[in-house]
Amino acid sequence: MKAYDQQSRLLVAVDCIIFGFKEGKLNLLLIRRDFEPRRGEWSLMGGFLKEDESLDDAAARVLKELTGLTEVYLEQFRAFGEVNRDEAERTVSVGYYALVEQPVVDKQLSRDYAAHWVSVDDIPPLVFDHREMVAAALRRLRHRATHEPVGFELLPEKFTITQLQALYEGIFGTSIDAGNFRRRLRKMDYLERLAEKDTSGSRKGAWYYQFKSERYAAAKSEGSDFLLKP
C-alpha cells in the first residue's frame, strides 16, 4: 500500500483552456510553444506546479502570466494522466478552464507570447493531448452554463438579452427561440435591468442587464435552480 519512500516523484502541470466570446463566436486562446519539444506548435497555456502553490494557485498564476488578468472565472475540470501524454517526460496535467471577457484580454495581451484567438469550431492541430483537453473543457462548459450562471463571465458587466442569447447559441452551436429565451430570463430576479440602453445594435435600442451574484446566492439558498438550455 501507500508508503512515502521509494515512490516516483513526477512533474505536475496545469493547463488552461481559455474561453472568450466575440461577434457571436465562442473562441479559445492558444499560444505557440516557445520551447522544446514541439517549439512553435499550437498549444494551450500551461505551466508546472511549484512546491509552494496549490493547483488553483498555479492555474491562476499561469493565466495571469499570459493575459495579465487576475479576477477571472477559473475551474478545474479534470486531471490527465496517460503515461505518454507528454513526450518529453512523464507529466500529469490538471486541466482548468477560464472564462474571460475577450475584448478586455485583447487590450492586455502581451505580444510576446504569440497568443491568438481561434474559434472553437475551427481549432488547429495542438500538441500532446491538448485537443482532448479542449473537448473535455467544452463539454464541461456547456454543462455548467446550463446549470449555473457562469456564462455571464464571458460578457461585460452590462449586457443585453440579445447578446446573452448569442452567447448561448455560440456555446452550444444551436439557435434558440428568442421569445422563450427571454421569458426564462424574466423569471430570474437576480438579473437586474438597468436604466440604460445599448443603441448600437438597433434603432429601438436594447436594455442593459446586470447579473447580481448576491441575489443569485440568495435565490439558490432558497432552493431555486438555474437552468438555461438551448
Partner DNA sequence: ACAAAAGTGTTTTTCTTACACCCATGA
Partner DNA sequence: TCATGGGTGTAAGAAAAACACTTTTGT
Q: Which residues bind a copy of itself (CB under 8 A)?
A: 1-4, 7-13, 33-35, 46-56, 58, 65, 76, 78-83, 88-90, 92, 94, 113
Nearest-approach distance from CB 192 to DNA, in angstroms? 13
Please identify, using beta-carbon distances, which residue of 81 and 201 lies nearer to DNA.
Answer: 201
DSSP for 151-215 reads GGGGS-SEEEHHHHHHHHHHHHTS---HHHHHHHHHT-TTEEEEEEEE-SS-SS-EEEEEE-HHH
* Footprint (CB under 7 A) of DNA, residues 162-191: 162, 177-180, 182-184, 186
Give 147 or 193: the residue with its C-beta nearer to a copy of itself: 147
CA atoms within 13 A on the CB side of 29: 28
Cell 437552468 belongs to residue: 227
Question: Is 161 among the residues that bind DNA (CB under 7 A)?
Answer: yes
Q: Whats the size of the chain, residue-wise? A: 230
- 51/222 with CB nearer DNA: 222
CA distance 95 to 113: 20
Query: From the CB of 203, what's the least distance to a copy of itself, in Å?
Result: 40
